[in-house]
Structure 1
């Protein structure tokens, strides 16, 4: 009997419980919502940045460094975050991470309430953004860990596409909202709202989430569907003392000498360069480079975001469909990735037109392609050895988010030196081609097992 067709079954305690929606889909919905808030938090300065800059007196270069601060700490926090996830599981570490990054986001609203020199305000926000990076570092590896445990291989492409597409949904939902709040009430209230939402989600996650085998809502049929399809249902199962085995040096050394993983690292870096342009300088480009108003920016920025969201779903669902039709895992993951990255390079065309409408159309196409090609997390869950699932995910995320350090700073200096965004757009577009190189380096996609 299919787990999706079961309208009523018997729960763990023997009581009849309605089962219309498989629990794994509710788990996916929850991590989608949390990830959308995650991206709203990290991209909040892209909407509020111009108002904050005017209020506190920051220069473009100072704003560029503030944009990059998140990624410095986010990158450094990846490996410790992955190790904590492998030892303690996603439930506790994700809840703690969510609560802490929410408090840091809310604290930004307090900067400048008391008159302070510009450099002091810069230093405080830079430090808060560093802490935000540290506390958010376990989030995406935790998402990948949850997908590995809760979804069979043939559904994992769409599962990772859904939570990865939350970044675009976050922009589509929160960019207009944050623009309106900034316009009506001031930039501080954006951070207050994000703080309240984050604390609510942290409580929901901690009270409801569990491993597939231990979750009271999971039926035997659904558990069998997940486990027989390649889901690692015991990945986060409770262990004595609440900890799991430590990673040994031999395993870590093998991870850093495995060619397919280096292909993932390179392609993820390239994809994230596109992401960080979008969540940092893109609204500023629309404001300063195209002359749009703040309210217009909030709504215009939502258009490419919506198409990026749609592209992410198309890429994930297409990949799983190819897999179900008998194509190899390598072909099913790489074909959408190649098509998407080719489309993403079209962002360079924005530098040769003065039409704002055409620029928005090109950006929309580029981010639709970027969404299609963003299968790095699916590929990581396909490759990672079970004993180091989160460590591999964190390593990939660390390399990928080096782009968050490089991209905002390079664009900041480029814009200040040239007075335009043309060179910056070519710089961003080149990363689409770099992602294709990473896919070539990757070779065959199959789960790496170091204990064979």
Structure 2
């Protein structure tokens, strides 16, 4: 095999492709929600329970997946979970009631929860510290690219071949990717296609430590992380940020159908726009942090915080969604929120890499994900209870201000006061 001078970026592209498929499979439910409500006779509250089943499993198992990746490694761990989520997605085609669908979504939540901790694991394994901000921004693209591609792809398959085939095709895509990952991926120390020049560039002292396996058990690892004050500077903002993303992924298509009168074709035409904006926001956030670091002479940590705060300010756009008459204006405001959320999410990952040991980052990100998805789970249940009585207005208004509150906690717990010089890290 040939030696690639910048293999790390092709590894990142492979990971982005996997996360993209991960989000296509999970977002298939949201796109098909109006159709599945009719076929399976689901109420909005019952649909919220189906969504919450996925979210509960995703929240509970993220710390477990993070620890597993730190313990057994990314190559085997990600392959096993990716194969499992692809198969579970295909089994969705057999659902004949909302209860069965909820059970399948719970299983999918278990298997897909590996994506978030794997994100930081691959960044710390393959990128030196000075490149991680930009790499994190691009890595986050996969999480929203899947959401962007899901509406037209899933709607097209469903309209042409039926809703069952939409689950079968997207699940099969996951199986193909898992096979490619198993064949191609390895850590930089052992990869057969890496050049000696790039290996030396990547494998500084810190990155070598990142390739060492975690030695502590799951419970000890969680206790050690939760004792660190800085952890709450990412966990609380993540808790407050996630409801908006969960709503975009699982409820916005339903909102467009029930509140804005759109059919499946119209949803396919417009529901991907918030995720396109999120792609752009995630990619730009790393360069924005780099700008803050260079122009304002901030540390990596503080530059990431201000990039995240910038995203939090954009989230206020969601509070105006109920007050616009045009559905296209509503989608535009939601898209601004998607841009802001992706910037916050990418920079939270950078903050974890800046403040924790390299061989802990998957575990820390898993617990951060537990905090975020617990919030998403509770918020989905809240949507199921509030929307039938009061509509979506209270939901969008509250989401507009959650991240500003989260930014305050970030500044309180993790901002480095008085630090104005670049880190040598």
Q: Provide the TM-score with structure 1 as the length reference.
A: 0.87
- State yes or no: 1:210 paired with 2:181: no
Match of 2:108 in 1: 132
TM-score of the aligned structures, taking structure 2 as reference length: 0.92
Aligned equivalents of 1:250, 1:64: Cα separation in 2: 34
* Distance in 1 between residues matched to 2:221 and 2:32, nearest whole Å: 44
Deviation at 1:269, TM superposition (A): 1.5
Are 2:155 and 1:201 equivalent residues in the alignment?
no
Structure 1 residue 357 corresponds to structure 2 residue 357: no
**1:320 aligns to what?**
290
Residue from 414, 420, 423 that aligns with 1:443: 414
Q: Report the alpha carbon displacement of residue 445 of structure 1 after superposing the two structures with TM.
A: 6.2
SS where residue 246 of structure 1 aligns?
Answer: coil
Select the residue among 48, 51, 56 that pairs with 1:72: 56
Partner of 2:382: 410
Q: Which runs of 5+ in 1 are unaligned?
A: 1-10, 12-16, 113-120, 238-242, 447-452
Select the residue among 178, 182, 196 that pairs with 1:220. Answer: 196
- In the alignment, the residues of structure 1 paired with residue 52 and residue 385 of structure 2 have an alpha-carbon distance, to the nearest angstrom, of 13
Alpha-carbon separation, structure 2, partners of 1:286 and 1:309? 21
Q: Equivalent residue for 1:232?
A: 207
RMSD: 2.0
Instruction: Decide which of 314, 319, 343 is 1:343's aligned counterpart.
Output: 314
Contact 2:63-2:369 within 8 A present in 1 as well:
no
Query: How much does 1:321 deviate?
Result: 4.2
Which one of 43, 58, 61 corresponds to residue 27 of structure 2?
43
Q: What secondary structure is seen at the aligned counterpart in 2 of 1:327?
A: coil
Listed one character per residue, the Cα deviations across residues 126-171 of structure 1 (whole Å, up to 9, x for unaligned) are 1111111111122221121111110111211122222222222112
- Report SS of the residue matched to 1:402: helix
Task: Give the Cα separation in 2 of the matches to 1:68 and 1:249.
Answer: 25
Match of 2:216 in 1: 246
For the pair 1:189 / 2:165, whether they are aligned, the reply is yes
Structure with the greater alpha carbon radius of gyration: 1
1:433 aligned residue (398, 404, 407): 404
> Which structure is higher in helix share?
2
CA distance in 2, matches of 1:57, 1:283: 18
CA gap of 1:406–1:244, structure 2 versus 1, over 3 A, is closer
Partner residue, 1:370:
341
CA contact (8 A) 2:92 2:104 kept: yes
Instruction: State how far apart, in whole Å, the 1-side matches of 2:21 and 2:301 are.
Output: 32
5+ residue gaps, structure 2 = 418-425
Q: Distance in 2 between matches of 1:434 and 1:106?
A: 39
For residues 28 and 47 of structure 2, what CA distance do their matches in structure 1 show? 13
Q: 1:443 to 1:246 in 2, by over 3 A?
A: closer
TM superposition shift of 1:199: 0.5
Alpha-carbon distance in structure 1 between the residues aligned to 2:307 and 2:188: 30
Matching residue of 1:309: 279
In the alignment, is the contact (CA less than 8 A) between 1:382 and 1:445 conserved in 2?
A: no
Displacement of 1:249? 6.4
1:331 correspondence with 2:302: yes
